[in-house]
Chains A and B, each alone.
Chain A
Amino acid sequence: MSAVAQLEERASVRPVRPRDAIVRYSGIRTWGPFLVVLVLWALISAAGIFPSAFFSSPAEVWERALSLVERGILPAYVGDSLIRLAVGAAWGLVIGILLGFVIGLSARARKFCWPALLFFQAIGDIAWLPILIVWFGFSLTSVTIVIVYTVCFPLIISIVAAIDAIPANMLRAAGSLGASRLQRIVLVVVPAALPGLSSGIRTGLGYGWRALIAAEIIIGTSGVGFMMFDARRQGDVTQVFVGMIVLGALWYATDALLLAPFEKATVERWGMVEGIGR
């Protein structure tokens, strides 16, 4: 008996391969790909394939970024964009998660909402901007609505899909252990839908972030999107590059600081999903 338990225990522990260990601990995994891109970028700009007015070098972009930070423009714009995203995403998450669970759990709600969901999903986020500007002007409200709209749909759809994918026996098990309907929802459906929820949040926030930049380009009074579009108007390619890099870096930071730790502590810890991109 105990010998069997030991054998079984040994079989369940995965050995760490040395190659994995190197990749994991030396920072190569995080910075390696960026280094490659940086080197290629430097080579292309040094080779003079494109005129320098259209293709800035890494050094120029770095200097411009520093000067934008010194003059306080970049921090202010990044701050504006992040606040807009945070406000929009917060509402989007609340509404999306609620609707996702209601539609996922209630056949009646699903029948009622699904056609509308498909219809409105087809009207792309920024396709709402013309009418929103008429209604709410060039305001935070317009931007927020666009982001809420964008965050909601992927969230709702992936929550519904996750609820549908819950193994029937898991719910049966809970029922035969005496769980009421409410207990089944709170104690089984919610945690079992968490992988779908977290991937929905990831997709939703990603879309929301893009919608924000698009909205800033059109509504444009401040923010990273505005900065990029404004720079284009003045033919300032270097500043456009800065904006693009800031966008990528901010998304990377959101993932590394918020999404990945949450997934690591929950759905990955429980073995419900493999690490995403790790």
Chain B
Amino acid sequence: MNVLEIEHLTQSYVDAYTGDRTLAIGDVSFTVPQGQFVSLLGPSGCGKTTVLNIVAGFVESTGGRVLVEGAPVAGPGPDRGVVFQDFALFPWLTVRQNIVFGLRMQGAGKEERERRAEEMLALVGLDGFGSKYPHELSGGMRQRTGVARVLATNPTMMLMDEPFASIDAQTRRVLQQEVLQIWDSQRPTVLFVTHDVDEAIFMADRVIVLSARPSTVQADIAVPFERPRTWREIQADPRFAELRTELMTMLGVEDL
């Protein structure tokens, strides 16, 4: 069953100063079956984040249809949790309170929230950090909190908008592996926006490549690697290098 169906999505916007109409998303269609991890890859400015924002319900599309579990998207909702590049944690809440924010919105009782918070803290490797405030954590720990906050409510979809882009390079690799492990425990359907080819391959079951604007789906490529994955294994696999070259060429980055 397809959790996400995007049909002939278009998005244009009017420049507030010149009044010119720009077509950002030309014609994008794809579907994502339940439990699949999909990377949305494209050159910068191609509108991949806009696609995610439309799926999340933050932005209204100017054309086409977006269905989540068969129902058209109308505004943000708890069935689609979002992990942000800038974390977007609530600085006045502790890590624990951040993680159970969604449960609180659903009216879950105190006991259930406590229990779930401990589960999630353990799952994302933040035991003992529940009472800290976000600013007391490193970037990697903040993003693990961001993931825990989304997964705490068991959403149908997890939307990730360049979630590792503001994390330093060393931590990023570790975090990518950790997030895959965490994802594996619940297997929500994931739409993962990135401009990093290696990351797109490593994380996903499938990589969808968008062209430069006005964007269309340029390629839709299955990633053949078994899970669980580690960087050590994936990098040693000759298919990784092939896939990487293929995608780099598509993006017009031919430094190989």
**Residue positions of A touching B, CB distance < 8 A:** 1-2, 4-5, 8-9, 11-12, 167, 169-170, 172-180, 183, 188, 191-192, 194, 266, 269-272
Contacts and interface: CB of A to CB of B under 8 A. Distances in A.
Contact of B90 (A175, A191, A269): A191
B125 A172 contact: no
Contacts of B105: 177-180, 183
A8 B126 CA distance: 11
Contacts, number: 94
Interface string B81-96: 1101010111110000
Contact of A167 (B88, B126, B135, B140): B88
Nearest to B136: A12
Interface residues of B, number: 38
A188 to B, nearest CB: 7
Interface string B55-90: 011100000000000000001111011101010111
Contact of A266 (B75, B92, B106): B92
A164 B174 CA distance: 36
A138 B21 CA distance: 62
B92 A191 contact: yes
Contacts of A4: 140, 171, 174
A169 B78 contact: no
A194 to B, nearest CB: 7
B137 to A, nearest CB: 6
Given A8-B138, A8-B141, A1 B101 contact: no
Interface in B102-125: 102, 105-106, 125
Given A176-B78, A177-B149, A271-B134, 7 more contacts: A2-B125, A8-B138, A12-B136, A172-B82, A176-B82, A177-B102, A272-B92
A9 B84 CA distance: 22
Contacts of B171: 4, 8
Task: Identify the 5 closest CB pairs spanning chains A and B, nearest first.
Answer: A271-B135, A178-B78, A178-B105, A8-B138, A177-B102
Contact of A271 (B76, B80, B91, B174): B91
Nearest to B105: A178
Contacts of B153: 177-178
A2 B77 CA distance: 34
Contact of A270 (B92, B129, B141, B149): B92
B255 to A, nearest CB: 31
B214 to A, nearest CB: 24
A176 B133 contact: no
B7 interface: no
Contacts of B27: none
Contacts of B84: 169, 172-173
B92 A177 contact: no
Contacts of A188: 90
B81 to A, nearest CB: 6
Contact of B81 (A1, A176, A269, A270): A176
B178 interface: yes
Contacts of A175: 57-58, 75-76
Contact of A1 (B58, B135, B178): B178
Contacts of A169: 84, 86, 88
A170 B78 CA distance: 15
B77 A176 contact: yes
B86 A167 contact: yes
A193 to B, nearest CB: 11
A214 B109 CA distance: 54
A137 B105 CA distance: 53
A169 to B, nearest CB: 4
B92 A178 contact: no
Contacts of B136: 12, 271
A180 B102 CA distance: 11
Contact of A176 (B57, B106, B134): B57
B138 A270 contact: no
